[in-house]
Chain A
Amino acid sequence: MTEATSDVDVAIEITGLTKSFGPLEVLRGIDLTVNRGEVVCVIGPSGSGKSTLLRCVNMLEEPNGGTVVVDGVELTDPDVDIDAARRRIGMVFQSFNLFANLNVLNNLMFAQRKVLRRDRDEAQKVALANLERVGLAEKANAMPHQLSGGQQQRVAIARALSMNPDVMLFDEPTSALDPELVGDVLNVMRKLALEGMTMLVVTHEMLFAREVADKVLFMDAGMVVEEGPPAQVIGDPQHERTRSFLSRVLNPISDRE
């Protein structure tokens, strides 16, 4: 990982990425660059391929073509040690995916111990510090099922942070939450962005994207339709497809054409 410094500014570089599930082309040549410290939000209708794009960044889905480079390491290289590469990439899922048989603290310590080989004391220290960061230090001994969805998602974020990742991927982190719990999760993410974390976020939260993102991508049918600063893509979209998507998201009950 030491050669990662050769390309100091670029954290994630995706070129010509394609992915098909059987005959279905889900990604048709995606190019995307995320600079270090940047927050990039990917928006678009469901089925547009945005989650698949995110899952290709840490190889949960194997792309059919194109390259993904994270921290100067090409993950699409078949010889790459993918487990080593994933340590640097934090992932937050729509459905939290906390380990159901472990309490909160052990959820955060588990991979630190098994993967990073940290000793118990250090792992616990890191875990507690990250729980503090997401405002859930008092839940260290709770089991996941005892927490609300919003709390589970914040624990999931703390779990990813405990590995000291260079970049964080968020796959619709608030889509499975009750509306009143969304704010807590977004606040944690906003804080993280302010601390300078490199983040790639698939989201339907337009207000969050508008406020926090450095760059917004609008995807439809497996392609990037429009990208640019949020004020442009969300505030003044150039493409018809972006406009109709945004009007449907921002005015869900108004009359549609």
Chain B
Amino acid sequence: MALSKRQRAKVFRGVQYGIGLVVVLVLAVTADWAKIRATFFDVEVAKAMFPEVITVGLKNTVIYTALGFSVGLVVGLVLALMRLSSIRVYRWVAGAYIEFFRGLPALLIILAIGTGVPIAFPGTFFDKYTALAIALGIVASAYMAETFRAGIQAVPAGQVEAARSLGLSAGRTTTFVVVPQAFKIILPPLTNELIMLTKDSSLALFLGSTVLEYELTQFGRVALNQYRSLTPVVVAGFCYLIITIPLGYLSRYLERSTGGKKISTPESPTVEAKA
């Protein structure tokens, strides 16, 4: 056994590939392809879903997500600034909001807003778009607040000091110096949250809706019952990927085009001790 380290690694990798190949072959041979095709990839069923799966399902998924995300952005930013405020009550309120709503399943919040509020306050009624804008907005804001806070704190204090020294007020420094720089830092986690929210929008199916208000998942589920085939689920899944995969690319593109460069500070300057 006079194998060198490199040779051993080679043999080991060969064995890995071999096992992988065997597993794939076994699955491929033993699977009932005819049944799989009939159940999951029934072309006739898939065809029957178009164009409504796009014009209704995909459209509504995008609308619900966009509404929730927009509300989440605004509320999340306010919460993050409150969290970083020098006023204790603001910090406390924002902290409580974040801890509370971050810890609840999105479904509970959607049900609470969509069905709970109209029961608790007779006379109030949210149409589906409003209910989801609020509910998904609450879910998104709790997560985004923490993302924003981290991003804002990642902007070096020197940037703020420079702006203040030039005569900018604290508020304008935040708006014109801190937020634009924090934005670049938080773009990747923000994209993640948008993708998660896209999937969370599927929980809308727990609220009553008219045919025109179906989003992808509900559209798929109704089609599933109608055609007695799992093909609609596969089609809906594809539609989600059509949204989420480009988002990842967009995020990476934006990161590059906004000059995803390090903030320039000299290598660990020996800042005079505050003493």
Which single member of B167, B266, B272, B273 contacts A163 (CB below 8 Å)?
B167
Contact status B269-A176, CB under 8 Å: yes
For B181, list chain A residues within 8 Å (CB). 99-101
B-contacting residues, A144-194, CB 8 Å: 144-145, 147, 149, 152, 156, 159-160, 163, 172, 175-177
Contact status A144-B264, CB under 8 Å: yes
Q: How far is the CA of A21 from the CA of B269 in the complex (A)?
A: 21
Q: How far is the CA of A156 from the CA of B163 in the complex (A)?
A: 12
Task: Please report whether the interface of chain B is mostly helix, strand, loop or mixed according to DSSP.
Answer: loop
The reply to whether the CB of B261 lies closer than 8 angstroms to some CB of chain A is yes
The reply to whether the CB of B168 lies closer than 8 angstroms to some CB of chain A is yes
Contact status A60-B269, CB under 8 Å: no
Shortest Cβ distance from residue A219 to the other chain B in the assembled complex, whole angstroms: 12
Contact status A101-B167, CB under 8 Å: no
Contact status A100-B159, CB under 8 Å: yes
Contact status B165-A175, CB under 8 Å: no
Q: How far is the CA of A119 from the CA of B252 in the complex (A)?
A: 35
Q: How far is the CA of A51 from the CA of B273 in the complex (A)?
A: 9
With A21-B274, A60-B165 known to touch, is A101 a contact of B176 (CB < 8 Å)?
Answer: no
Contact status B273-A99, CB under 8 Å: no
Which single member of B158, B264, B274 contacts A52 (CB below 8 Å)?
B274
Q: Which residue of B lies closest to A115 (CB)?
A: B167
Contact status A152-B166, CB under 8 Å: no
Give per-residue flags for B26-43: 1 if the beta carbon is below 8 A from chain A beta carbons, else 0.
000000000000000000
The reply to whether the CB of B150 lies closer than 8 angstroms to some CB of chain A is no
With A46-B272, A172-B272 known to touch, is A93 a contact of B161 (CB < 8 Å)?
Answer: yes
Contact status A176-B166, CB under 8 Å: no
Contact status A114-B176, CB under 8 Å: yes
Q: Which residue of B lies closest to A91 (CB)?
A: B165
The reply to whether the CB of A94 lies closer than 8 angstroms to some CB of chain B is yes
With A99-B159, A100-B264, A101-B184 known to touch, is A26 a contact of B275 (CB < 8 Å)?
Answer: yes
Q: How far is the CA of A48 from the CA of B259 in the complex (A)?
A: 40
Which single member of A98, A149, A175, A177 contacts B162 (CB below 8 Å)?
A98
A-contacting residues, B249-275, CB 8 Å: 258-259, 261-266, 269-275
The reply to whether the CB of A218 lies closer than 8 angstroms to some CB of chain B is no
How extensive is the interface on chain B, given as a class? 20 to 34
Shortest Cβ distance from residue B170 to the other chain A in the assembled complex, whole angstroms: 9
Number of interface residues of A (CB under 8 A): 45
Q: Which residue of A lies closest to B172 (CB)?
A: A114
With A52-B274, A114-B172, A175-B270 known to touch, is A86 a contact of B262 (CB < 8 Å)?
Answer: no
The reply to whether the CB of B164 lies closer than 8 angstroms to some CB of chain A is yes
Which single member of B158, B168, B272 contacts A97 (CB below 8 Å)?
B158
Which single member of A58, A83, A160 contacts B168 (CB below 8 Å)?
A83
Q: Which residue of B lies closest to A222 (CB)?
A: B275
A-contacting residues, B37-57, CB 8 Å: none
Shortest Cβ distance from residue A32 to the other chain B in the assembled complex, whole angstroms: 18
The reply to whether the CB of B208 lies closer than 8 angstroms to some CB of chain A is no
Contact status A47-B159, CB under 8 Å: no
Q: How far is the CA of A122 from the CA of B167 in the complex (A)?
A: 19
The reply to whether the CB of B169 lies closer than 8 angstroms to some CB of chain A is yes
For B270, list chain A residues within 8 Å (CB). 46, 175-176
Q: How far is the CA of A111 from the CA of B163 in the complex (A)?
A: 8
Q: Which residue of A lies closest to B176 (CB)?
A: A114
Shortest Cβ distance from residue B156 to the other chain A in the assembled complex, whole angstroms: 8
For B159, list chain A residues within 8 Å (CB). 97, 99-100
Shortest Cβ distance from residue A95 to the other chain B in the assembled complex, whole angstroms: 5
Contact status A21-B275, CB under 8 Å: yes
With A21-B275, A46-B272, A99-B159 known to touch, is A143 a contact of B261 (CB < 8 Å)?
Answer: yes
Q: How far is the CA of A160 from the CA of B163 in the complex (A)?
A: 10
The reply to whether the CB of B116 lies closer than 8 angstroms to some CB of chain A is no
The reply to whether the CB of B177 lies closer than 8 angstroms to some CB of chain A is yes
For B177, list chain A residues within 8 Å (CB). 99
Q: How far is the CA of A177 from the CA of B270 in the complex (A)?
A: 11
The reply to whether the CB of B248 lies closer than 8 angstroms to some CB of chain A is no
The reply to whether the CB of A24 lies closer than 8 angstroms to some CB of chain B is yes
Q: How far is the CA of A3 from the CA of B270 in the complex (A)?
A: 40
Contact status A47-B167, CB under 8 Å: no
The reply to whether the CB of B237 lies closer than 8 angstroms to some CB of chain A is no
Shortest Cβ distance from residue A101 to the other chain B in the assembled complex, whole angstroms: 5
Give per-residue flags for A75-93: 1 if the beta carbon is below 8 A from chain B beta carbons, else 0.
0000000011011011101
Other A-B pairs beyond A46-B270, A58-B165, A101-B180, 6, CB < 8 Å: A24-B274, A46-B273, A51-B272, A89-B165, A95-B269, A99-B163
Nearest 9 Cβ contacts at the A-B interface: A111-B166, A97-B158, A97-B162, A91-B165, A87-B167, A176-B269, A176-B266, A100-B263, A145-B264
8 CB < 8 A contacts A-B: A86-B164, A93-B162, A96-B265, A111-B168, A143-B261, A152-B264, A159-B166, A177-B266
